[in-house]
Chain A
């Protein structure tokens, strides 16, 4: 499978996802349903085409670039952020650190005693 083929697979999955989300009025966004769909297809087929793996990993390698345009949108909200910078900054920093800690500790606690199964 070449790059165009791989992109087509990704876009078809996303389109089906968007259509299902809209038709059934699901609270889940289309691309997430597309993700589940592609995952299900891969599990069912039991193998991963090399071209799809290359294109997907190439796209994901620069995932952070894709967030830049939305981030630049900060300039539209300068007034609100200026007025509420303290609650926003503390909430973002505090909540992000708490979330990392809670998630890691919960997962680690349940993995203890399963050491033999880890690599």
Chain B
């Protein structure tokens, strides 16, 4: 019994096991609550898991790097999960072909609206240059957004946080925004949420219906692609216009 409980803690806190386990526990707990509350948007499981984990790390004085050493196994799955989006997409192939025109126009409009409004509003309210550059790709999925922020000269770590916050805001607000605009079609609802709020919005859409989820996943993939392709062009425009 050398060291007792404290000794066990010292040992566990240095292994990746703990970071991984607490991530899953926090998420399970948050998801259980979310389910109990009939999927109330304000009980978004990502937001609550993050809040609980941050409180826990701060309370125990654990650095983020130590936590991430374990949590990176979960983080890693974002890659294969992005590839997996091909499956629901393929299941909607017929609809995709019929709706090619509305989807392309909506994608371009949404992608530009996301970038322009984030940077525009941030600039109006006096955000710093690094923050603006980190905000710009906030609507696309984490791995893509971090890559873009890095190329722009923003802070990839901050972008990851802003992306997650965007996803939570989108998942929470989509229902109200779309109801106010009287959009009933699940394909349209899903596509709008996926464009604005990437994977977290997509996860929310899958809870509503498989159709909404498939279109959200499609929007998430396409917006990642569109934003990654649009940025070099937008940057060129900005430099040409002499704004930067």
Interface residues of A, Cβ cutoff 8 Å to B? 7, 10-11, 13-14, 17, 27-32, 34-39, 42-43, 48, 52-53, 55-57, 59-77, 80-81, 84, 86-88, 90-108, 110-111, 114, 117-118
- Chain B residues 6-28 with CB under 8 Å of chain A are 23-24, 26-27
Q: Check if B41 is an interface residue, CB within 8 A of chain A.
A: no
Residues of chain B within 8 A (CB-CB) of A62 are 203
Q: Which of B124, B181, B221 contacts A104 (CB 8 A)?
A: B181
As a 0/1 sequence over residues 31 to 52 of chain B, the CB contacts with chain A under 8 angstroms (1 = contact) are 0000000000000011101100
Q: For the complex, would chain A's binding face be called helix, strand, loop or mixed by DSSP majority?
A: helix
Contact residue among B138, B160, B169 (Cβ-Cβ distance under 8 Å from A70)? B160
Nearest CB of chain A from residue B75's CB, rounded to whole Å: 4
Q: A43 vs B169: C-alpha distance in the bound complex, in angstroms?
A: 34
Q: 1/0 per residue B121-158: CB within 8 Å of A?
A: 11011111011000100110011100100010001011
CB-defined contacts of B57 to chain A, threshold 8 Å: 72, 75
Give the complex CA separation of A61 and B64 in angstroms.
27
Q: Does B224 contact A32, Cβ atoms closer than 8 Å?
A: yes
Beta-carbon contact of B50 and A72 below 8 Å: yes
Contact (Cβ within 8 A) A32 B225: yes
CB-nearest residue of chain A to B169 = A96
B83 interface contact, C-beta 8 A = yes
CB distance from A103 to the nearest CB of B (A): 3
A115 CA to B117 CA, complexed, in Å: 31
Quick check: A29 and B86 within 8 Å, CB to CB? Answer: no
- Which residues of chain B come closer than 8 Å to A93, judged between CB atoms? 169, 173
List 28 interface pairs A-B (beta carbons < 8 Å), by A numbering. A13-B86, A27-B229, A27-B231, A28-B225, A28-B228, A32-B224, A35-B86, A42-B87, A42-B90, A57-B88, A63-B199, A64-B45, A65-B27, A65-B46, A65-B49, A67-B200, A68-B71, A70-B163, A73-B64, A75-B58, A84-B126, A87-B131, A97-B173, A101-B177, A101-B181, A104-B177, A110-B105, A111-B185
Other-chain contact of B139, A14, A76, A96, A118 (Cβ < 8 Å): A96
Q: Please state if B83 and A17 are interface contacts (CB–CB under 8 Å).
A: yes
Contacts of A14 in B (CB 8 A): 79-80, 82-83
| With A67-B167, A71-B161, A117-B98 as contacts: A57 and B87 at CB distance below 8 Å | yes
**Chain A, residue nearest B194 (CB):** A103
Q: Tell me if A48 and B229 are in contact (CB < 8 A).
A: no
When distances are taken between beta carbons in the complex, the residues of chain B under 8 Å from A38 are 83, 86-87
Whether A43 contacts B114 in the complex (CB less than 8 A), given A77-B161, A101-B177, comes out as: no
Other A-B contacts than A65-B27, A111-B99, 14 sampled, CB-CB below 8 A, are: A11-B80, A57-B88, A60-B85, A60-B88, A62-B203, A70-B160, A72-B54, A74-B54, A76-B64, A88-B131, A99-B114, A106-B106, A107-B187, A118-B185
**Quick one: which of B23, B91, B204 contacts A68, CB cutoff 8 A?**
B23
Instruction: Look across to chain B and name the residue whose beta carbon is closest to the beta carbon of A61.
Output: B206
Scan B92-136; emit 1 where CB is below 8 A from any A CB, else 0. Answer: 010000110111011101100110011101101111101100010
Residues of A within 8 A of B164 (CB): 67, 70-71, 74
Bound CA–CA A100/B148 (angstroms): 21
